[in-house]
Amino acid sequence: MNPKMTFYEKEVHRIKDICYSNQAQIKAIIQIRKYIDNNFDANLNLDLLSRECLISKYHLLRLFKKYYGQTPKQYLIDKRIAKSKEFLKAGMTATQTCLTVGFESPSSFSSLFKCKVGMTPSEFQKSNF
Our CB check for another protein shows the closer of 8 and 38 to be 8
CA distance 94 to 124: 10
Between CA 65 and CA 36, with CA 78 as vertex, the angle to 5 degrees is 65
Side chain identity, residue 82: A
| H helix runs in the chain, sequence order | 7-19, 23-38, 46-53, 57-68, 72-89, 94-100, 106-117, 121-127
Tell me, residue by residue from 32 to 71, as one string, x for binding to another protein by CB under 8 A and - for no binding. -x---------------------------------xx---
3-state secondary structure of 54: coil
Tell me, residue by residue from 69 to 108, as one string, x for binding to another protein by CB under 8 A and - for no binding. ----------------------------------------
- Judged by CB under 8 A, the stretch of 7-15, 54-62, 97-105, 108-116 that binds another protein is 7-15
CA distance 34 to 69: 16
Our CB check for another protein shows the closer of 54 and 69 to be 69
| Distance in Å, CB of 24 to another protein, minimum | 13
CA distance 116 to 118: 6
**Number of shown-chain residues binding another protein (CB under 8 A):** 19
The binding site for another protein (CB under 8 A) comprises: 5-9, 12-13, 15-16, 19-20, 26, 29-30, 33, 67-68, 118, 128
